Structure 1
Amino acid sequence: MPAGPLPSFGVYLLGRPPGALGWESRWVRWPDFRLPADPAALRAALTEVWERSAGERVEIACGGGTGRTGTALACLAVLDGVPAAEAVALVRRVYRPRAVETRRQARFVAGFGP
């Protein structure tokens, strides 16, 4: 675990469910280097994390923190009003330069609009 307070809510982007956690969470089935198995479930989970982040400590995580997490962060940016065409570049600039690892993930973000 990283240093600091524990989250009160988390969204986990993994190929299989995470183990037991000490806080409320949502699992979105999302195999590494691919797209979410259920895009509607991802949108619902990201909408919830975005809403709860205003007053709670939340986290989004995958296995490595780059492709799936970067894609989800770019989608969150879109939910927050960043144009979909700019979201990947924003996440790469402020989070990780290699975030959103595949062209399919970048196309997914481009189509994530409202």
Structure 2
Amino acid sequence: MDGRWNTDTPGVVRLPSGRLVRGRGLRHGLPEGQTPALAVHLTGSRPSEQPWESLWVTWRDFWLPADPDDAMRKLRLAYERAASERVEVCCGGGIGRTGTALSAMCVFEGMGPEEAVTWTRRNYHPRAVEVPWQRRFVRRALAADGSGSRRS
């Protein structure tokens, strides 16, 4: 399944590079319309099987990923694939963990961590990145990126 999201798809944000990524809350059900090519599930328990490719990051609500390095690798892969495919990141409510993942992707774009959180709150959800340790995880994305330069 190739192609990008329609820009009017609920939950889709356009990162500064032009990549489109959908954030969503699993409790709200699957929106009508396009489906992802890749979904990254940020949940405490294994998600159910889907007809599209999915990755699971063990990440309990209001906490951090059980394996932060694995989470960064999967988010980096999702970020890279979002250049040409429909990618979504999702958690239970679609706010805290999803917003944290979107903020990490903004850091991959070259934003500073604080700027990334502000951008995500402005462009995705005003309560994204809900707890202080999630902000620290976004800072970790800067170290995981290692390049210190903007990517496109």
Bigger CA radius of gyration: 2
Q: Gaps spanning 5+ residues in structure 1: where? A: none
Normalised to the residue count of structure 1, the TM-score between the two structures is 0.96
**CA-to-aligned-CA distance 1:73-93 (integer Å, 9 cap, x gap):** 000100111112311111001
Q: In the alignment, which residue of structure 2 is the partner of 1:109?
A: 138
1:57 aligns with 2:72: no
- The runs of 4+ residues in structure 1 deviating greater than 6 Å are none
Give the total of aligned pairs. Answer: 114
Q: In the alignment, which residue of structure 1 is the partner of 2:96?
A: 67
* Pairing partner for 2:52 from 23, 38, 42: 23
- Alpha-carbon RMSD: 0.9
Letter in 2 for 1:53: A
Letter in 1 for 2:41: Y
Identity between Structure 1 and Structure 2 (%): 49
Q: In the alignment, which residue of structure 2 is the partner of 1:76?
A: 105
* SS, match of residue 21 in structure 1: coil
**CA-to-aligned-CA distance 1:23-44 (integer Å, 9 cap, x gap):** 1110000000000111111111
The structure with more helix, counted as a fraction of residues: 1
* Pairing partner for 1:95 from 100, 124, 131: 124
Letter in 2 for 1:60: V
**Mean alpha-carbon deviation: is it higher for 100-109 or for 64-73?**
100-109
Q: Gaps spanning 5+ residues in structure 2: where? A: 1-29, 146-152
